[in-house]
Amino acid sequence: MNAMLRKEMCLSASVLSYIFLAAAVMTLIPGYPVLCGAFFITLGIFHSFQSAREANDIVYSALLPVAKSDVVKGKFMFSVMIELAGFLLMTVFTLIRMTVLSGSEVYHKNALMNANPFFLGMTLVIFGLFNMVFIGGFFKTAYKFSPFVTYIIVAFLTIGVAEAFHHIPGCADVNAFGFDHIGLQAALLCGGAVMFTILTFLSYKKSCRTFEKIDL
């Protein structure tokens, strides 16, 4: 395991980052905007950044015999690890809704987004936006949390658009129940994965450049 990731997990991380993974269970709540579960998982990661700042973790990390880019890399690796753990849990609960609970009336009457591959793809988009807007914004100063406010606005606008999308004429298939329209659903999931990868990679590269310029 990467030494900086191990340091993040054992020293810098807030326990809330791990506890908030339980928000993945929101995937099973009927009549609820299930994408909010992804937001709460990122909120848990935010608490780790908050805890690390109060403990002066950034300065401590920069004083270690590592490159400044490794400090950024450690934060990104930890964040992506938590995000992928949350995504895995949400995938499990989504599959439960698509199989074991496929005949449940409360889900069939649900007017909001169904738990399906499109939902999982949008979950990855939310995570990618967190990495781009908040983490990328944080490393411009390495102490200001104002980018998290911007992320909240962007995240809930994205959730609102995703929730409303299937109500647009001709777009109902994105909210398919169970394994209906699975080809389209798989494509949408892949699209979300591509966006997550691009947003995270671009944010990481930009964060390395901006953090190098900061005089700690």
Contact 18, 87 (CB under 8 A): no
Q: pLDDT tens-digit profile of 75-93?
A: 999 999 999 999 999 999 9
Contact 31, 112 (CB under 8 A): yes
Domain count, the chain: 1
**Can you tell me the distance from the alpha carbon of 97 to that of 157, in angstroms, rounded to the nearest whole number?**
25
Rounded to two decimals, the pTM is: 0.95
pLDDT at residue 178 tops 90: no
Q: pLDDT tens-digit profile of 128-144?
A: 999 999 999 999 998 89
Place of tokens 């753990």: 85
The residue segments making up the domain with residue 142 are: 3-213
Place of tokens 């074991």: 100
Q: What is the DSSP string of the chain?
A: --HHHHHIIIII--HHHHHGGGGGGGGG-TTS-TTHHHHHHHHHHHHHHHHHHHTTHHHHHHHSSS-HHHHHHHHHHHHHHHHHHHHHHHHHHHHHHHTTTTT-HHHHT--S--SSHHHHHHHHHHHHHIIIIIIHHHTTTSS--HHHHHHHHHHHHHHHHHHHHTTSTT-GGGG--TTTTHHHHHHHHHHHHHHHHHHHHHHHHHHHHHHHH---
Instruction: Say what the pLDDT of residue 1 is.
Output: 55
159: amino acid identity, one letter: I
Six-digit token string for 161: 């658009």
Lowest mean pLDDT among 19-33, 101-115, 144-158: 101-115
